[in-house]
Amino acid sequence: MRFSNFLWLLLLMPMSVWAQSKGQIDFNKDWKFYKGTVANGEQKTLNDDKWATVRIPHDWAIDGPFSDEYNARSGGLPFHGEGWYRKHFTLTNTQKDKQVAIEFEGVMNNSEVWINEHYLGKRPFGYIGFEYDLTPYLNKDGENVIAVKVAPEDLSSRWYPGAGMYRKVWLNVNNPIHIAHWGTFVKATNVSSRVATVEMEVEVENHLKVDEVVSLVQSVISPEGKVIETLETKTVAEAGKTIHAFKSFNLLKPQLWSQENPNLYHLKTEIKNQKGEVTDTYVSRFGIRDIKFTAKEGFFLNGKLTKFYGVCLHHDLGPLGAAVNRRATERQLQIMKSMGVNAIRTSHNPPSTELLELCDEMGLVVLDEAFDEWKIAKIENGYHKVFDEWHERDLRDMIRRDRNHPSIIMWSIGNEILEQGQKDGWKVAQRLAEICHEEDPSRPSTAGFNNYYGSIKNKLADQIDIVGFNYKPAKYKEVVEAHPDWIIYGSETESVTSSRGVYHDTFLEKYTKFSDNQVTSYDIVGPVWAYPPDMEFKFQAENPSIMGEFMWTGFDYFGEPTPYGGRDNSTNGYWNDDWPSKSSYFGAVDLCGFPKDRYYLYQSQWTDTPMVHLLPHWNWKGFEGKEIPVFAYTNAEEVELFLNGKSLGKKVKGVDKAMIPVKFRFYEGPNNFESPYRLRWDVPYAAGELKAVAYTDGKVVSEEIIATSGRAKAIELSADRKVISCNDGEDLVFVTAKAVDQNGNFCATFNGELQLDVKGTGTFEASGNGDAASLITANSKKLKFFNGLALIIARANEGQEGMITISAKGKKLKAASIQVETKKTKEPESFL
C-alpha cells in the first residue's frame, strides 16, 4: 500500500490512568515473590509465608549481581530463569455478583497464570498487556489465590529486558454488561480549528444469558473540565456477545492537540439499564489533531510543517531497571525535551502506557513499534520462536491498546528484521501492514530498514506507507530520486558512542576500543555503520523532503555495550569479551540522566533558547603547552573563546568549520569532514579558566565557563524537585551528587567513593553514576563518583507527610545533606 500524499485525520482518547473504568482496582500491593523453580506453584495450599513481599511493578533482576556468568549483551544481569508471584485476596460483598477480570500491563516474559489452581493461559511476549476473566473460578466466600509463573530465557533479548511483573496489574470488577477491555475508539475527519467530525465506536460485552436493552450516554468534557456535548443511544446488548455501537457529531471550535499546546479532552461513556440506573462508567482521554504526510515536503501537524527531532528509547529506567515508574519516565522525557526532542521511537517493542500518557501530556509525537524480530532469528530464543502463533494477536492488541493516544502518529511493524534479505520477505511485511490498516486505518504503517538494498529489491519497502531507513544518510538523495513517491525518514540514525566526561589523550583519533572500557566524549567514535550527528544534519539539510530523524539513542540503556564485547545481530552470541562493559554508550544522556556533550550538540541544532557548551574538561596536568582540541556547541551566531581572560578569537558558526574524522558505510566523502555544526580551537593547555561567550547580532546571549579544579574537597547535593507526592508511595526524587574543590569548582575527573543515607518520610530506592563499566549494583548505598557525578533516588513513603533527608559522605570530602518535602497532593480530576 503506497500513499504519496495522504491525510491522516484522527481524534484520539487514551485512558489517563490506563483504563479509567469505575470498576478498576489497584492490584499492585502485597504480592509474594520467589525466584527459582517451584513445584506446583499454583496450588492454593502452598505455603508462601517465607516468600518476599513485593510491590508491582517489580523487576527481579536489577539488583544483580552483575556477572560475566550472564550475557553482557543483555546487561550482565540475571534476568532469565524462573520466578513465581502469588497474591491472596477475598471478594467484598459488592464484588461477588460481578464480572471479575485481572489485567496485566506487561509481564517479562513467557508468563503463565492460574486462579485457584485453574490454568488461565500463557503470554510469551513480555511487552504487551492482557486480561483474563476470573469469574467462573472465583471462591466467592473465601480466599482466592492468583499465581503467575514467569520464565524468561537466556539469549532472548538483544538488550536488557528486565524480568517479572514489571508493569502494573489491575483487578477489573464490572457488572455483567460493561464496556469491553480496550473497547473504545474515536476518530475524526475534516479536522480544523473551526470543526471536527467525531466518530465514536464503543464495544459492549454482555455476559448474561438474556438480551438487554441498554442506553449508552456519552459526554464530551473539554480540557477545562466542562461538559460540552452529550449523546445518548439505545441498543440491544445480545446475550453472550460483544456489540459495537457507533455515534458521530460535529465538535465546533475544537482545541487542537499540538506540540505547543497538547490539549486533552475526556469522553465519559455510561451504560444505563432500562430503569435509568448507571451500571458501568468508562472515561477515556483524547486529543484532536490533524496529521498529514507528503513525499515532497514531509510531516504536517495541524498544517504546520514539523521535522522529527527524534530519539529512540529502550524501556529500562537506568538504576530502576525495567520496573515502570511514572515519575522516572516523566523525568526522562523532560530531559529529552530540554535537548530539543519532539518525537519518540519506542525501540523496539510496545512501550508502557505511562510513556504514552506522558507523551500525550507533553506534546511529543510517537512512533509505536511492535517487533524486533519476525520469523528469522537474530538471537536463539527471540520472538521468532512464537511469531507464527502470536504475531497477529500481539500486533492487534498493541494497536487496540494504544490507538487512542493523540501522540501516536505511526505504527511500526518491525526493526531491522532479517526478512529484508529474503525474496518473499515482503509477504510478511504486507500482512503486518494489513493488520495495522484493519485495526486503525487512520494512521500509516512503517518499519525501520537497515538493509538498504534488500528492503528495496525484495519489495518490503513497497508494503508500508512510510519508509524508515536506519543509518543511510548518504543514500537519501539516491532513494528520493529513484522513488519520488516514497515518504521517507531516518528511523535510526548516528549510533555514535561516548562516555560522559571521558576524553582520552588520543583526542580526535577514531579508535575501535580503549583500554579503560570507555569511549571519548568528543562525539566521533562509533561502529562501522555509525557516524557523528553532523553527518545526519548535513544530509537532512541537503534532502529537505526527508522528514527528520530518530537518533540512537536518547538515553543509555543496559546491554549492547558497543564497541565492547561483541557484534550486533550475532545469533547465539555472548558479549563478554570486554567485561565489565555491560551497558550501552550510545546515549546522548547516560544511565542516570546526566547529559553527555552530544546532548548539547543536538540542543544547538534543535532548540532556539540561546546556549553554548564547551568541551573537553580543563584538567590536563602534564599536558602544559600541548594543544588540546576545544569544541563549542552553540545555536548563536558566533562564539569568542577566552583562556585566563585572554581572547583566543571569535569564530562564526557555519563559516569557521571544525574538522572531525568521519568514515562509515555507504559514505564516499572525505575522511576529514569540515563540520559547520561545531566550532573548534586548538588551545595550548594552561591551567585556569576557559570561557566561551556566544553572540547573536553582536550581543552576548550565553556564556559557559570550565575551570581547572583542585582536589575534591566537598560534595554538593541538588534535588530535581523540592516537594514530592506521598499519595501512593510511587513518587521519586532524583538527587545529584557533585564533587567540588575548595573553591567550588566542579571536579570533572574525580572518581572517589561516597556513601549514601536516606531518612525520614522516604526510603532509599536506587543509586548510580552512569559508568557503563561499573559493577556496583543499583541497590547499593556505597558507590563511586563517575567523572564527578553520582545519582541518588529516594521514594516517598505512602501517606507520610514530612521531610526526606538524603545524605552523602566520602573519604576526605565534606559531607552534604538535602531535604525534600513529602506532601499529600491534589489528585487529578476524575470524571468517574
pLDDT tens-digit readout, 473-486: 999 999 999 999 99
pLDDT digits (tens, 9 = 90+) for 655-679: 999 999 999 999 999 999 999 999 9
pLDDT digits (tens, 9 = 90+) for 138-194: 999 999 999 999 999 999 999 999 999 999 999 999 999 999 999 999 888 889 999
460 and 525, same structural domain? yes
Task: Write down which residue in 660, 692, 707 finishes a domain.
Answer: 707
Q: Is residue 773 part of a domain?
A: yes
Distance CA 58, CA 72 (A): 21
Catalytic residue among 42, 103, 373, 492: 492
Q: Is residue 453 part of a domain?
A: yes
48 and 64, same structural domain? yes
Q: Which domain holds residue 112?
A: 29-167
pLDDT tops 50 at residue 17: no
pLDDT digits (tens, 9 = 90+) for 716-773: 999 999 999 999 999 999 999 999 999 999 999 999 999 999 999 999 999 999 999 9
* CATH code where residue 797 lies: 2.60.40.10
Q: Region 261-278: what's the mean pLDDT?
A: 95
Which of 498, 394, 322 has its CA nearest to residue 125? 394
pLDDT digits (tens, 9 = 90+) for 19-72: 467 789 999 999 999 999 999 999 999 999 999 999 999 999 999 999 999 999
Report yes or no: 636 and 694 within 8 Å, Cβ to Cβ: yes
Beta bridge partners of 220: 229, 267
What pLDDT is stored for residue 18 in this prediction? 37
Which of 494, 555, 641 has its CA nearest to residue 332? 555
Q: Is residue 299 part of a domain?
A: no
Across the chain, mean pLDDT equals 95
567 and 473, same structural domain? yes
Distance CA 104, CA 167 (A): 7
What secondary structure letter does DSSP report for 265? E
| pTM metric for this prediction | 0.96
- The SS3 of residue 771 is coil
pLDDT digits (tens, 9 = 90+) for 185-218: 988 888 999 999 888 999 999 999 999 999 999 9
What pLDDT is stored for residue 571 in this prediction? 61
Strands 111-115 and 762-768: unpaired
How many domains are contained in the chain?
5
pLDDT tops 60 at residue 796: yes
651 and 724, same structural domain? no
489 and 425, same structural domain? yes
User: How many other CB atoms are found less than 10 A from the CB of residue 810?
Assistant: 22
- Return the higher-pLDDT residue of 12 and 304: 304
579 and 665, same structural domain? no
The band of 568, judged by pLDDT with boundaries at 50, 70 and 90, is: low
What pLDDT is stored for residue 521 in this prediction? 97
pLDDT digits (tens, 9 = 90+) for 778-795: 999 999 999 999 999 999
- CA 771, 586, 553, 628 torsion: positive or negative? positive
- Of 305-319, 425-439, 660-674, the one with minimum mean pLDDT is 660-674
What pLDDT is stored for residue 570 in this prediction? 60
Distance CA 800, CA 498 (A): 41
- CB burial of residue 829 (10 Å; 0-12, 13-18, 19+): exposed
45 and 184, same structural domain? no
H helix and E strand count, the chain? 8, 47
What pLDDT is stored for residue 129 in this prediction? 96
Rounded to the nearest 10 degrees, the angle between the axes of helix 326-339 and helix 597-606 is 60
Q: Is residue 412 part of a domain?
A: yes
Which of 832, 830, 727, 596 has its CA nearest to residue 327? 727
Task: Write down which residue in 128, 149, 167 finishes a domain.
Answer: 167
319 and 377, same structural domain? yes
Distance CA 406, CA 12 (A): 5
- Cα–Cα distances in angstroms (integers) from residue 318 to residues 313, 559, 564, 662, 773, in the given order: 12, 11, 19, 30, 14
Catalytic residue among 373, 416, 638, 765: 416
Task: Write down which residue in 232, 259, 291 finishes a domain.
Answer: 291
pLDDT tops 90 at residue 287: yes
Q: Is residue 757 part of a domain?
A: yes
Q: Is residue 468 part of a domain?
A: yes
User: How many other CB atoms are found less than 10 A from the CB of residue 484?
Assistant: 11
What pLDDT is stored for residue 573 in this prediction? 81
Would you call 492 a catalytic residue per the annotation? yes
- Cα–Cα distances in angstroms (integers) from residue 675 to residues 54, 470, 537, 661, in the given order: 52, 22, 10, 10
Q: Which helix (H) or strand (E) holds 304?
A: strand 304-305
What pLDDT is stored for residue 569 in this prediction? 62
Give the residue carrying C-alpha cell 571521558: 502
Widest CA span in the chain = 90
Would you call 297 a catalytic residue per the annotation? no
276 and 345, same structural domain? no
User: How many other CB atoms are found less than 10 A from the CB of residue 121?
Assistant: 10
Q: Is residue 24 part of a domain?
A: no
* CATH code where residue 106 lies: 2.60.120.260
The band of 636, judged by pLDDT with boundaries at 50, 70 and 90, is: very high
661 and 561, same structural domain? no
641 and 521, same structural domain? no
Distance CA 180, CA 283 (A): 13
Q: Is residue 829 part of a domain?
A: no
123 and 56, same structural domain? yes
pLDDT digits (tens, 9 = 90+) for 487-515: 999 999 999 999 999 999 999 998 889 99
